[in-house]
A = this chain, B = another copy of it.
C-alpha cells in the first residue's frame, strides 16, 4: 500500500498520478533547478498544494506541485540501516570517563520515513558516532534512561544522580551526561544540588541538531564535554554547549546559572548573570574562573526531590485562584516568576498569605531572567515580603524551582528549607555586594 500520510487535495492527486509514496527518493525539476531528496509526510496545517522533500543536505523544502515540471523516482523508500562500528582500543593511562545516556537529540537518528527525529538511544551509539573522544579519556558508557527530555522530572533526576554517584564510587574520574536540550538546564541544576561538592566533574551535554545533519553540533559538544570531564578542576556540575553558530567553540556553563534561550540555534544556551566558566576551542581550555561560591567543601549526596513544588509565571490577568488550587492540592512550595524586581498584582496577596499560613514556602524570582529581584524598592515588594515571600536574589526561576524541590525534601522543617533557599549552595545565588546599590 502506498503511504501518502497527510497529503490531500492537489498534492495527493499529484502523488497518486505519479505513483509516489513517502520515503521515495525523488528527482524534481522546477525551472532550471533540480531537487533530489526523500518525500516526507505532511502535517495537518500544511498547505495542500505543496509536497515536502527532505534534501540530501538534511534540509526540508516545500515544493508547490503546480510548479513541478517533471519528477522521477530514483529509489523506493527504505529505512536506513544502522551498523554498529567496532569500539576502538583503549589507552589505560587516560582518565576514566563514564558517558551516560538519558535520551535526546545528541544520539538520535532520523527516521527517513517520517522525517522526524526519534530519540533512539544507547551510549554506545554516541561512542560509535564520535570515536574522537577516546583521545582524551578511557570511555565507559551507560544507558541510564531513554526519555525525551520534556518527560524528565524529579524521579528521573534521582535516578540519574544515583547512577552518577554509583559510577563515582566505582572510581570514575569524570562523568558526561548526554541529555535532551529541552530540560537539560533544569537537570543540570538538579544535579548541582543532588551531587553538591562532587569530587569529579559531571558535565551535561546535548545537541540541537541530530547527528545525521551536516550542521550537527553533537560531535563538538561531546568532545569538549569529555575533555572537561577529564580535568579535576571542573569537579562540580557543568553544561557544555556551542558558544556560537560557528563549529569551533564550546562554552562550559555553571549548572545552576544556565538557560536555553533559543529554540533551535546551536548556541542556544547562555550563562545568566555570570560569564561561562570556560571555553573549549580546538582542544584547548580557556578558563574564565569558576566562582568560589560554586565550590562546595564536601560531597553531600542528597538525591531526592519534592514533587509538590510549582513554578507560576505572573502575567496581566493572572488568576490568583491558581495559588489556592496549589494550596488545596497539598503543595509544599511555590516559586513565583514576578515582573521586574519581583512583583505580582495585589489581587494575589490574599492567596499568597493563605498559602504561607498553610506552611507553603513561597519564593520570588523575576521573569526578566537577567538581574536580581529587589523587593525593598517598591511598596509592592515590601508588601509581599511582609506576607513572608522570600526574595530569591539573582537565582534563575528554573533553578529556584529545582532548588526548592530539593530544599523541601532535604530539611527537617520549613525554617531549614527557607534557610537553604537563601544560602548559596552551588553558585546559584550570588550575594549582593556590601554596598546596597538599590535600583542600580
**Contact residues of A: prevailing secondary structure:** loop
| Cβ of A376 under 8 Å from chain B | yes
Question: Residues of B contacting A167 with CB < 8 Å?
Answer: none
**Segment at the B interface, from A22-30, A230-238, A263-271:** A263-271
State whether the Cβ of A282 lies closer than 8 Å to any Cβ in chain B: no
A332 to chain B, nearest CB (A): 12
Chain A 324-346 per-residue mask, 1 if CB under 8 angstroms from chain B, else 0? 01100100000001111111111
Taking the closest CB of chain B, its distance from the CB of A346, in whole angstroms, is 6
Known contacts A117-B378, A339-B149; decide if A183 and B316 are in contact (CB<8 Å): yes
Taking CB atoms, residues of chain B closer than 8 Å to A439 are 117, 208-210, 213, 264
- B150 & A380 in contact (Cβ 8 Å cutoff): yes
Interface assignment of A430: CB less than 8 Å from any CB of chain B? no
| A314 close to B (CB within 8 Å) | yes
Beta-carbon contacts of A364-386 to B below 8 Å, as 1s and 0s?
00111111111011111010011
Distance between Cα atoms of A313 and B382 in the complex (Å): 26
Query: How many angstroms from the CA of A379 to the CA of B180 in the assembled complex?
Result: 14
With A61-B435, A385-B43 known as contacts, the answer to whether A261 contacts B322 (CB < 8 A) is no
Q: Which residues of B contact A325 (CB under 8 A)?
A: 321-322, 325
Tell me whether B438 and A60 are in contact (CB under 8 A).
yes
Q: How far is the CB of A116 from chain B (nearest CB, A)?
A: 6
Say which one of A125-133, A286-294, A304-312 lies at the interface with B.
Answer: A304-312
| Contact residues of A between 1 and 54, Cβ < 8 Å to B | 43-45, 52
A377 close to B436 (CB less than 8 A): no
Interface readout for A208-234 with B: 1 if CB under 8 Å, 0 if not? 111001010000000000000000000
**B380 touching A117, Cβ below 8 Å:** no
Q: Which chain B residue lies CB-closest to A313?
A: B313
Q: In the bound complex, do residue B310 and residue A370 qualify as a contact, i.e. CB atoms below 8 Å apart?
A: no
Copies held by the complex: 2
Contact A436 B339 (CB under 8 A): no
Report the minimal beta-carbon distance from A369 to chain B, rounded to whole angstroms: 6
**Of the candidates B268, B309, B326, B391, which one forms a contact with A368 in the assembled complex, judged by CB atoms under 8 Å apart?**
B268
Instruction: Give the docked Cα–Cα distance between A378 and B310 (Å).
Output: 26
Most chain B CB atoms below 10 A, which of A150, A369, A372, A434 = A150
A353 adjacent to chain B (CB < 8 Å): no
> Of residues A261, A262, A265, A376, which shows the largest number of chain B Cβ atoms within 10 Å of its Cβ?
A376
Whether A154 sits at the interface, judged by CB under 8 Å, is: yes
Q: Is A398 an interface residue (CB 8 A)?
A: yes
A351 to chain B: closest CB distance in Å? 13
Which residue in chain B gives the minimum CB-CB distance to A370? B262
> Would you give the 0/1 interface string for A176-218, flagging 1 where the beta carbon is closer than 8 Å to chain B?
0000011100110010000000000000000011100101000
* Shortest Cβ-Cβ A-B pairs, 7 listed: A263-B371, A182-B339, A182-B340, A153-B316, A150-B343, A262-B370, A262-B371
Some 12 contacts from A to B, beta carbons below 8 A apart, are A44-B386, A45-B385, A62-B436, A117-B439, A153-B317, A154-B317, A187-B316, A263-B368, A263-B372, A264-B371, A312-B313, A317-B401
Contacts beyond the supplied A116-B376, A309-B317: 5 A-B pairs with Cβ under 8 Å:
A149-B339, A153-B317, A182-B340, A260-B339, A264-B341
